[in-house]
Amino acid sequence: MREFFSSLKFKIILCVLALLVGLMIYSATTSGTATSPEAILGAIISPIQKASSTISNKARASIDKLINADKYYKENEVLKDQIAELYGQIANATDIEHENQMLREVIGLKEENPDFVFSPPANIIGRESGSLFGAFTIDKGSLDGISKDDTVISPNGLIGIVTEVAPTYARVTTMLSPDIDIGVYSSREKVTGIVTGDIALAKEGKCKMQFILKDSDIKEGDIVVTAGRSGIYPEGRVVGVVDEVGVEDSGLSLYAIITPIVDSNKINSVFVITNFKGKGLGYE
């Protein structure tokens, strides 16, 4: 064994170890931009991941139908009851008018936001292993105009933000992550707060809205949208629905548990907003 430790091979291994430490330090300083080894590997592996992802999604859909048949039957029964209830609401003109006004405020389509610049639709080609926060990799990168901190959405609402970008792929962190903070307000009474991830809630696919003023009128069922004051997220993108409201342990403010409008584990493609009016202009 002593000969091995004094051999040239061991010295080469030590050099490789030093190189890896240097790579780690370099990677830490360039957070947000993929390092060259990552970019090259990602470009090579992406096509394989795309093919594997397609097969995996189809298999998952088939298995899901078999396993969750009972669940879908129960959901169907609940939805039928909901439809019956909605028919009752049709008779009430005031309820419909109020509902329409709320929907106009939260729906952020291209016609209402002509300043949005979208990337080409991106497919999800890989998901972060060993994580509760649902982060994923998309098959579009800087060559498609995507850059770090671009907002990622689906037609239904906000999903997250681009946290790392390479020429041919990008990594997206969802709102379930504690590293993401989103300034929001409720569409009904404009109650403001910050949506961020919580490890305990992330396990259930939910997140937390905090720093809500104690006398705010926020309740279960309220829809929460982006405030657009940080310059990172455009205003008016639907974030989620309030599930539960409670008082913080300090007693000084409220919190709300939010169910995201988009379940990142169930989608296969997303849009990235590469530019919008007010991007980069934080509230002063």
CB 166 within 8 A of CB 40: no
The stretch among 37-45, 95-103, 187-195, 275-283 that binds other proteins (CB under 8 A) is: 37-45
Among 68, 100, 265, 269, interactor with other proteins by CB under 8 A: 265
Any idea what DSSP says for residue 143? G
Q: What residue has token string 């859909």?
A: 61
Q: Which is closer to other proteins, CB of 142 or CB of 177?
A: 177
Q: In angstroms, what is the minimal distance from the CB of 107 to other proteins? A: 29
- Rg of the Cα trace of the chain? 23
CB 194 within 8 A of CB 209: yes
The stretch among 6-14, 65-73, 182-190, 255-263 that binds other proteins (CB under 8 A) is: 6-14
Among 43, 123, 127, 243, interactor with other proteins by CB under 8 A: 127
38 interacts with other proteins by CB under 8 A: yes
List the one residue out of 185, 182, 259, 264 whose CA is nearest residue 220.
259
Q: Which is closer to other proteins, CB of 18 or CB of 79?
A: 18
CB 239 within 8 A of CB 225: yes
Interior angle at CA 217, CA 215 and CA 221, nearest 5: 145
Q: Which is closer to other proteins, CB of 167 or CB of 278?
A: 167
CB neighbours of residue 279 within 10 Å: 19
66 interacts with other proteins by CB under 8 A: no
- What is the rounded distance in angstroms from the CA atom of residue 127 to the CA atom of residue 122? 14
Question: What does the binding site for other proteins look like in residue numbers (CB under 8 A)?
Answer: 1, 4, 9-10, 12-13, 16-17, 20-24, 27-28, 35, 37-38, 41-42, 45, 48-49, 52-53, 55-56, 60, 125-132, 135, 137, 164, 171, 178, 198-200, 203, 265
